[in-house]
A and B are shown apart, each in its own frame.
Chain A
Amino acid sequence: MALVELRNVSKIYHLGGEEIRALDDVSLDIDEGEFISIIGPSGSGKSTLMHILGCLDSPSHGSIRLDGTMIQSATTRQLATIRNRKIGFVFQFFNLLPKLSVLQNVELPMVYSGISGRQRRERAMAALEQVDMANRCKHRPSQLSGGQQQRTAIARALVNNPRIIFADEPTGNLDTHTGEAILDLFRHLSTEGRTIVLVTHDPEIAAVTPRRIEIRDGKIAEKLDLTLAGLSPKGARVPHEAGGAETQGS
């Protein structure tokens, strides 16, 4: 059984009588330990897909199973718990709380899972070690560079030991060099066995991941964009069609 199973998921927005299909009948499986990029042009529905996968949003139609739980029938409270325990988010704009220190920001998810203060500190420090930010734990986000802020956000996503990490354009706000460092970090985490879904519109970034899913107009594209062909690193684990685009029926 896959870690995430998406079946015929649609997300429809209604804007003044007009129907916008942000996601249109998407089916998708993600296995444990996969490193996947979701790629597509702006407005194609990548973020929408990620939000639905990450239990931040619910689909208009279709079903999602995450780690054995049916998401579309879960209550908001259950969704909050799932986000807390099983999912880590990394955002384009870092989304750190400016009033809290780096350490407190990383502790935040554990506050909501009711972990004691001492244990929180230990685990947050361990996560900060992993992203090489332990020496800045007392700083405020505003005192950090973009790359440092993003690494803090990654530590926060890691700290509750989630089943899957979603990153929406994690390098979108960083210069090329810093962006590469962040990508290296993700790659490293992937080799440690973490499941990571990377949302991007940059084919070069998508090329880093063994499996790519291309989205166009809310649908998963039939064929992989030619520019991406052959860029796939060898030996990476690709469960379905090797390096191919996704077409999964239900």
Chain B
Amino acid sequence: MQLLNTIVAGFKEIWAHKARSLLTMLGIVLGVASLVGMSALIKGMENGMKESMIAMGGADKVLIREEDVPPDQEHLADQAPGRTMYDVIGLRESAPLLRLVSPEMRVNGAMITRGDKATWPSECVGVWPAVLEMNLHTMGHGRFFSDIDEEEARAVCVIGTGIRDELFGSPEEVGHEIIPIGETIQIRGQPFTIVGMLTHYESEEERREREARANAPKQEQAGPQRRRGWGRGNWAFWRKNTTVYMPLNTSYIRFRAAGDRDGIPDWRLSDIDIKVRDMGVLEPALQQARNVMMVSHRGIEDFTFQTQENNLDQINTQIRNTRISGGTIAGISLLVGGIGIMNIMLASINERIREIGIRKAVGASGFAIFSQVLVESLVIALLGAAAGVVASYGMVWLLAHITPTGNLPVITPFALIVAVCFSAFVGVVAGLFPGLKAARLNPIEALRYE
């Protein structure tokens, strides 16, 4: 009840000096808006990075990379076997800490044609069905390869929607979605039957952009239809969409066995990806994999493991750095806002010395005066914070409209709570000194004050 009166009195005082209070609040408004806006941008960035990471196969994917032999094995470099199916089978049979082993054999220079249309896939590789789980793929239409496809090295393939767009036309151009299951395409001149198509992968922002384009009225196009260039949209998603998979044996027998390397059959794999059972056993699992591969490589260490951890670490430090610098800037502007409040509160109590004297004469305790000043300062800060929250939503909305291809800034409740609590804290601190000063005023001197 008492508190309510104090709060009402605080509001009245602020209302009585609208312009002044508004200007004072501005500091807090800017501080809160920059704090919330900054954290929203960072959150958006983080989300974008996580999306890309998942598009590339998730954080638990480990690449087995080819590497130069260590110096002490240089004399054995010629005998380095490279990554082969021996490794894959060895890992699958003898490394129980691995959940998934996915071999890949690239088809080099794979131009894909259909009639007069041609395209170059981001990767055209022979794979096992394990690749679906390895690279986090989802079948959109049709099927993946069967054992028979693998065994007989059948000329079948699974394509991403990007390949479909280039060879058959994209839904945007055609007006409806073409599902080219059963169609035949040429990979390096050899006919392949499409048995399946992966779903369309896109980032959150690409989805928004696509929807915006779909809703926008169709523009009249002058001249010939222009091709969409490279690097359009998110690289990770583009890459994933322009994938062509075929059975591993197919890629070997049809493209490698006849001699890819100076007439000698090249059975080396272009990639082995593994996933461990649990991220908690990453270290022992990699040790296990290494042991297995040391056997199949006859002790020649021409391989290395590349985890996403390094990547993740880098992303995290980057995010943390941005967060710290952004937070510091926002914190400073909030502090400046707080100094503004303190300044105004000091001016305000100086104007009201006589009033304070009168209030004390009729029985206001020092504490009552103190809490009134404090509440007033707090109310200014909180009103500023509320305006700042509204402003930050406006800012985020504006940013989303100005740069629709950027990562969508995301306002988190945590950021809001931190910003509001911090402004409340600033408001209280700014009110402390003026409040104490007002509470300590001698009633007689205050009454005599002109």
B345-403 contacts to A (CB < 8 Å)? 354-355, 357-368
A73-93 contacts to B (CB < 8 Å)? 76-77, 80-81, 83-85, 89, 91
Min C-beta distance of B349 to chain A, whole Å = 15
A interface, size bucket: 20 to 34
CB < 8 Å neighbour of A112 from B1, B12, B355, B368: B368
Is B219 engaged at the interface, CB distance under 8 Å to the other chain?
Answer: no
Contacts of B364 in A (CB 8 A): 80, 84, 112
Contact pattern, A 53-97, Cβ under 8 Å of B = 1, otherwise 0? 000110000000000000000001100110111000101000111
Contacts of A111 in B (CB 8 A): 5
Q: In the complex where A51-B444, A56-B444, A99-B16 touch, is A114 in contact with B362 (Cβ < 8 A)?
A: no
* Inter-chain contact A56/B365, CB cutoff 8 Å: no
Residue of chain A at shortest CB distance from B361: A89
Is A191 engaged at the interface, CB distance under 8 Å to the other chain?
Answer: no
* Inter-chain contact B358/A83, CB cutoff 8 Å: no
Is A227 engaged at the interface, CB distance under 8 Å to the other chain?
Answer: no
* Inter-chain contact A109/B443, CB cutoff 8 Å: no
* Inter-chain contact B363/A56, CB cutoff 8 Å: no
Q: In the complex where A77-B365, A83-B362 touch, is A56 in contact with B443 (Cβ < 8 A)?
A: yes
* Inter-chain contact A77/B366, CB cutoff 8 Å: yes
Min C-beta distance of A4 to chain B, whole Å = 18
Is B22 engaged at the interface, CB distance under 8 Å to the other chain?
Answer: no
Is A156 engaged at the interface, CB distance under 8 Å to the other chain?
Answer: yes
* Alpha-carbon separation in the docked complex, A51 to B5 (Å): 29
The number of residues on chain B lying at the interface, defined by a beta carbon within 8 Å of a beta carbon of chain A, is: 22
Residue of chain A at shortest CB distance from B365: A80
Residue of chain B at shortest CB distance from A120: B5
Contacts of B361 in A (CB 8 A): 56, 83, 89, 95
* Alpha-carbon separation in the docked complex, A76 to B439 (Å): 11
Is A183 engaged at the interface, CB distance under 8 Å to the other chain?
Answer: no
CB < 8 Å neighbour of B363 from A80, A97, A99: A80
Min C-beta distance of B92 to chain A, whole Å = 80
Min C-beta distance of A59 to chain B, whole Å = 13
Q: In the complex where A109-B363, A112-B368 touch, is A97 in contact with B358 (Cβ < 8 A)?
A: yes
Residue of chain A at shortest CB distance from B5: A111
Min C-beta distance of B7 to chain A, whole Å = 13
* Alpha-carbon separation in the docked complex, A180 to B119 (Å): 108
Min C-beta distance of A113 to chain B, whole Å = 7
Min C-beta distance of A87 to chain B, whole Å = 8
Is A250 engaged at the interface, CB distance under 8 Å to the other chain?
Answer: no
* Alpha-carbon separation in the docked complex, A84 to B362 (Å): 5
A19-54 contacts to B (CB < 8 Å)? 51
B436-450 contacts to A (CB < 8 Å)? 443-444, 447
Is B225 engaged at the interface, CB distance under 8 Å to the other chain?
Answer: no
Residue of chain B at shortest CB distance from A93: B447
Min C-beta distance of A170 to chain B, whole Å = 14
Is B2 engaged at the interface, CB distance under 8 Å to the other chain?
Answer: yes
* Inter-chain contact B365/A112, CB cutoff 8 Å: yes
Contact pattern, B 25-50, Cβ under 8 Å of A = 1, otherwise 0? 00000000000000000000000000
* Inter-chain contact B447/A108, CB cutoff 8 Å: no
Residue of chain A at shortest CB distance from B360: A80
* Alpha-carbon separation in the docked complex, A108 to B361 (Å): 11
Residue of A51, A57, A76, A114 with highest tally of chain B CB at under 10 A: A76
* Alpha-carbon separation in the docked complex, A83 to B358 (Å): 11
CB < 8 Å neighbour of A84 from B5, B12, B363: B363
* Alpha-carbon separation in the docked complex, A120 to B298 (Å): 97
* Alpha-carbon separation in the docked complex, A136 to B355 (Å): 22
* Alpha-carbon separation in the docked complex, A114 to B421 (Å): 29
Residue of A56, A57, A81, A85 with highest tally of chain B CB at under 10 A: A56
* Alpha-carbon separation in the docked complex, A12 to B361 (Å): 22
* Inter-chain contact B355/A97, CB cutoff 8 Å: yes
Contacts of A85 in B (CB 8 A): 363
Contact pattern, A 219-240, Cβ under 8 Å of B = 1, otherwise 0? 0000000000000000000000
B187-216 contacts to A (CB < 8 Å)? none
* Alpha-carbon separation in the docked complex, A80 to B439 (Å): 12
Residue of chain B at shortest CB distance from A162: B363
Residue of chain B at shortest CB distance from A84: B363
Min C-beta distance of A52 to chain B, whole Å = 10
Q: In the complex where A56-B443, A91-B447 touch, is A112 in contact with B366 (Cβ < 8 A)?
A: no
* Inter-chain contact B367/A109, CB cutoff 8 Å: no
Min C-beta distance of B366 to chain A, whole Å = 6
* Alpha-carbon separation in the docked complex, A190 to B182 (Å): 112
Contacts of B358 in A (CB 8 A): 95-97, 108
CB < 8 Å neighbour of B1 from A108, A116, A156: A116
* Inter-chain contact A89/B365, CB cutoff 8 Å: no
Q: In the complex where A95-B358, A97-B358, A99-B16 touch, is A112 in contact with B444 (Cβ < 8 A)?
A: no
Contacts of A95 in B (CB 8 A): 354, 357-358, 361, 447
Contacts of A83 in B (CB 8 A): 360-363
Contacts of B365 in A (CB 8 A): 76-77, 80-81, 112
26 A-B interface contacts by CB (under 8 A): A56-B360, A56-B447, A76-B366, A80-B363, A80-B365, A80-B366, A81-B363, A83-B360, A83-B362, A84-B363, A89-B362, A91-B447, A95-B357, A95-B358, A95-B361, A95-B447, A96-B358, A97-B358, A99-B16, A108-B358, A108-B359, A111-B5, A112-B359, A112-B365, A114-B1, A156-B362
- What 13 additional pairs, Cβ within 8 angstroms, besides A108-B362, A112-B364? A57-B444, A80-B360, A80-B363, A81-B365, A83-B362, A84-B364, A95-B358, A97-B359, A108-B358, A109-B363, A111-B5, A112-B362, A160-B363
Closest 10 CB pairs of A and B: A84-B363, A80-B365, A109-B362, A112-B363, A83-B363, A112-B364, A95-B358, A56-B443, A77-B365, A89-B361
A interface list, Cβ under 8 A from B: 51, 56-57, 76-77, 80-81, 83-85, 89, 91, 95-97, 99, 108-109, 111-114, 116, 156, 160
